[in-house]
Structure 1
Amino acid sequence: MLLLLFLLATSFLLPPGAQTMIIGGQDAEPHSRPYMAFLEIRGEENIRCGGFLLRDNVVLTAAHCNEGQITVVLGAHDITQTEKTQQRVAVRRKVPHPDFKRVPLGKGIELPINDLMLLQLKRPVTRKHSVRPIPLPSLGPTVKPGSMCSAAGWGSVSRHPEDLADTLQEVDLKVISVKSCSRKLDMSLEDFTEEILCAGDRGRAATFRGDSGGPLVCNGTVQGIVSCGRPNGSPPRIFTRITKFLPWIKKTLRNALRQGSISN
């Protein structure tokens, strides 16, 4: 039975003897994704999430990552090392979507809805080759089933949740229809809303624990946020569809700009 978790990360499993990488993926080229953010979260349990840089002092992530005090690391490849490219910044303010909730589907299963959160950093980062924002999608047509996208993160690198990646991992994922996604996940189609995007239809290619909040990137723009999926890390995975939340994101950023708390 499907048990949807709020993935505090995503990962990928390899065949025996292969080089360690995300399920069906590989090590990312260092700093090839300068928008990637690593979130250190200190609460009752120290956990990790991903995110991505929108403005010089704004990061977008998943609302279910709101579990404690957050420090954001930009410009990282190997998070176990103190790299010269890294910029560590504490979070000044967390703004989860006001309608974020976990919808019970029965038998202990919960589905995160409106799963996104803006993080205002205490200071702007310095833009370099290793640290740079990624553009939001336009309000036009959303990404369609069959589109090839990619996801990245420092989540689990096997089906053991504690086996977390040191270096940034990446994987290619195909977007699938919500109808196909609901069938593969053995869920009612009624449980899926327009805010949900599904990706992953082959082998073991997927995101997993520790990758939550990271981006699904299609044609150079971010289209989704890693949200949840089966507890064993198998595809498909569920993402928050960003185009459905553009009005809220832009309104929140405009209000913060007027208050002088957000960088252009």
Structure 2
Amino acid sequence: MQFLLILVAFLLFPGAGADEIIGGREARPHSHPFMAYLLTETPMRQSFCGGFLVREDFVMTSARCWGSTMMVILGAHNISRQERTQQRIYVLRATRHPGYNEENNLNDIMLLQLENRARLNQFVRPVALPQSRIELRPGSQCTVAGWGLVSQNRRTDTLRDVQLRVQRNQVCSNLFNTYNSQKQICVGDQSDEETTFRGDTGGPLVCNNVAQGIVSYGRSIGVPPTVFTRIARFLPWINNTMRQSEYKGSPPYPL
């Protein structure tokens, strides 16, 4: 099984997962050292998502990215190459938020405990999490990065990033009847073509060097805005889940 996932890492085209970057530009190599490329396998298929390192032994991503076998690649820029900066680590335990609802995408957050701690260096480094529930103001400029589709039918192997602005909650409430302003963030100007699309669900929304959101869902036609899970809302659950990792004997992949 492990050999299969390593093989899949070089056979899967970006875009096989959920949301990706449309617009933007190729990121400066290793300018987002917290980024994780997540390979997953379920009984039905193999796919990939984005994610981000939040501690040397934990990656955060979308609950939608769960798989029965999972591996993360850290320190990557061109995901189709075996770069010397890359670290491939299997997931020991995947914990989805107990309130995750796949029908309305609420509580779309998951923590992945790594089988081995990441080796921290200039290419692999955690991103900070918010320290309070203070909401982002509309107009705040943030960065999203990911691998995959750069248009409806064009792919890329290199990490791309884009600058997006936080929108008023009403913008997403008007478009998505399941939008929850307490647990989600509305991001992306409807007048722009830059947004997330297929291949980057689970990636971070980084504002002033702090991960504030997780790519969750958007419009199927690949135009903004995109809905992000609001990380600050889940701080007690995040801290408790990572604290529990210190205790031994729990089975892997609790649901």
TM tier relative to shorter chain: 0.7 to 0.9
Distance of 2:227 and 2:217 partners within structure 1: 5
User: What does residue 185 of structure 2 align with?
Assistant: 197
**CA positional deviation for 1:260:** 9.7
Most deviating of 32-41 and 190-199: 190-199
Superposed, 1:70-149 pairs within 5 Å as 70-103=70-103, 111-149=104-142
Q: Kindly indicate whether the alpha-carbon contact (under 8 Å) linking 1:76 and 1:85 is maintained by their aligned counterparts in 2.
A: yes
Q: Kindly indicate whether the alpha-carbon contact (under 8 Å) linking 2:21 and 2:162 is maintained by their aligned counterparts in 1.
A: no
When residues 255 and 57 of structure 1 are mapped into structure 2, their CA distance, relative to the original with a 3 A threshold, is same
Percent identity over the alignment is: 44
**1:143-186 superposed Cα distances (whole Å, 9 cap, x missing partner):** 111100010001311113xx432000100000001112222x2x
Alignment coverage as a number of residue pairs? 232
Secondary structure at the aligned position of 1:257 is classed as coil
User: What does residue 12 of structure 2 align with?
Assistant: none
Q: Kindly indicate whether the alpha-carbon contact (under 8 Å) linking 1:56 and 1:127 is maintained by their aligned counterparts in 2.
A: yes
Distance of 2:73 and 2:184 partners within structure 1: 27
2:216 matched to 1:230? no
Q: Kindly indicate whether the alpha-carbon contact (under 8 Å) linking 2:172 and 2:179 is maintained by their aligned counterparts in 1.
A: no
Amino acid at match of 1:200: G
User: What does residue 51 of structure 1 align with?
Assistant: 51
Q: Kindly indicate whether the alpha-carbon contact (under 8 Å) linking 1:206 and 1:233 is maintained by their aligned counterparts in 2.
A: yes
Q: Kindly indicate whether the alpha-carbon contact (under 8 Å) linking 1:26 and 1:169 is maintained by their aligned counterparts in 2.
A: yes
Distance of 1:131 and 1:253 partners within structure 2: 19
Stretches of structure 2 that go unaligned for 5 or more consecutive residues are 1-16, 251-255
2:152 matched to 1:159? yes
Q: Kindly indicate whether the alpha-carbon contact (under 8 Å) linking 1:42 and 1:70 is maintained by their aligned counterparts in 2.
A: yes
Distance of 1:134 and 1:259 partners within structure 2: 26
Q: Kindly indicate whether the alpha-carbon contact (under 8 Å) linking 1:11 and 1:233 is maintained by their aligned counterparts in 2.
A: no
Amino acid at match of 2:89: V
TM-score using structure 2 length: 0.86
**1:76-130 superposed Cα distances (whole Å, 9 cap, x missing partner):** 0000000000000011110000110123xxxxxxx31100000011100101100
User: What does residue 251 of structure 1 align with?
Assistant: 240
**CA positional deviation for 1:259:** 4.4
Q: Kindly indicate whether the alpha-carbon contact (under 8 Å) linking 1:9 and 1:154 is maintained by their aligned counterparts in 2.
A: no
**CA positional deviation for 1:142:** 2.1
User: What does residue 217 of structure 1 align with?
Assistant: 206
User: What does residue 27 of structure 2 align with?
Assistant: 28
TM-score using structure 1 length: 0.84
Q: Kindly indicate whether the alpha-carbon contact (under 8 Å) linking 1:39 and 1:50 is maintained by their aligned counterparts in 2.
A: yes
Q: Kindly indicate whether the alpha-carbon contact (under 8 Å) linking 1:154 and 1:211 is maintained by their aligned counterparts in 2.
A: yes
**CA positional deviation for 1:256:** 1.6
When residues 191 and 134 of structure 1 are mapped into structure 2, their CA distance, relative to the original with a 3 A threshold, is closer
Q: Kindly indicate whether the alpha-carbon contact (under 8 Å) linking 1:59 and 1:119 is maintained by their aligned counterparts in 2.
A: yes
Distance of 2:133 and 2:110 partners within structure 1: 22
Stretches of structure 1 that go unaligned for 5 or more consecutive residues are 1-6, 13-22, 104-110
Q: CA RMSD in A?
A: 1.7
Amino acid at match of 2:61: T
Distance of 2:28 and 2:116 partners within structure 1: 27
Runs of 4+ that moved beyond 4 A = 258-261
